Structure 1
Amino acid sequence: MRVDKFLWCVRYYKTRSIATEACRKGQVKIASETVKPSREVYPSDEIEIRKNQIDYKIQVLDIPESRVGAKLVNIYINDITPKENLEKLDLLKYSKDYYRKKGVGRPTKKDRRELDDWFDPENKND
């Protein structure tokens, strides 16, 4: 199975075209080598994926026939991502919260529209 199709089947990417684009950008590696989207995947391959500033590492256990449900993903892959990389994800979440907490500071355009609708619901611009 192609690597882009495999990553889509095991739900690492929402669409196959996003998986293909990630391969073309060099965000997917097998055996520390950047791969093209058409590269075949075999059981026991280790795939490194750079997604959302995190380096994921998975081991292929089996090849699915088609896209699988989220509960069945563990049958086909083994997640061997180092814990340090997953801790980075938590740090990213906290850093995003730091910049602007909800309800603090100047309202965004969406916040302002919601306030206008709340104060004057009859004067809605549809």
Structure 2
Amino acid sequence: MRLDKFLKVSRLIKRRTIAKEACDKGRVLVNGKVAKAGDILKEGDKIEIKFGSKDVKVEVLSLKEHVLKDEVQSMYRLL
């Protein structure tokens, strides 16, 4: 699954276009490296997102195309 789509589906970032912009500006790291919006994620990858003064670190647990609001937490684990 593409990184920008995962960020949107998992609700870490509200819109896919905003996720793409964050990636383009170098604010998203996957396994310690600056990531592009089109990078392919796999289970076990670690994502770090820089939101202003706040950093969010998560580990990818599952990749699903569609998720209900209640099931979002099963997609990742906060680090």
- What TM-score, normalized by structure 1, do the two folds share? 0.60
What is the CA–CA distance in structure 1 between the aligned matches of 2:38 and 2:23, rounded to whole Å?
Answer: 9
Q: Which has the higher helix share?
A: 1
For structure 1, the 5+ residue unaligned runs are 81-126
**Equivalent position SS for 1:59:** strand
Q: Which has the higher strand share?
A: 2
What is the CA–CA distance in structure 2 between the aligned matches of 1:69 and 1:23, rounded to whole Å?
Answer: 25
Equivalent pairs: percent with the same residue?
A: 37
The aligned length equals 79
What is the CA–CA distance in structure 2 between the aligned matches of 1:59 and 1:37, rounded to whole Å?
Answer: 17
**Equivalent position SS for 1:72:** helix
Runs of 4+ in structure 1 off by over 4 angstroms are none
1:2 aligned onto 2:12 = no
Aligned to 1:37: 37
For structure 2, the 5+ residue unaligned runs are none
Instruction: Kindly indicate whether structure 1 or structure 2 has the higher relative contact order, using CA contacts under 8 Å at least 6 residues apart.
Output: 2
Greater shift in the superposed pair: 48-57 or 14-23: 48-57
Aligned to 2:68: 69
Aligned to 2:25: 25
RMSD over aligned Cα atoms? 1.0
Structure showing greater Rg: 1
What is the CA–CA distance in structure 2 between the aligned matches of 1:70 and 1:79, rounded to whole Å?
Answer: 17
What is the CA–CA distance in structure 2 between the aligned matches of 1:74 and 1:14, rounded to whole Å?
Answer: 15
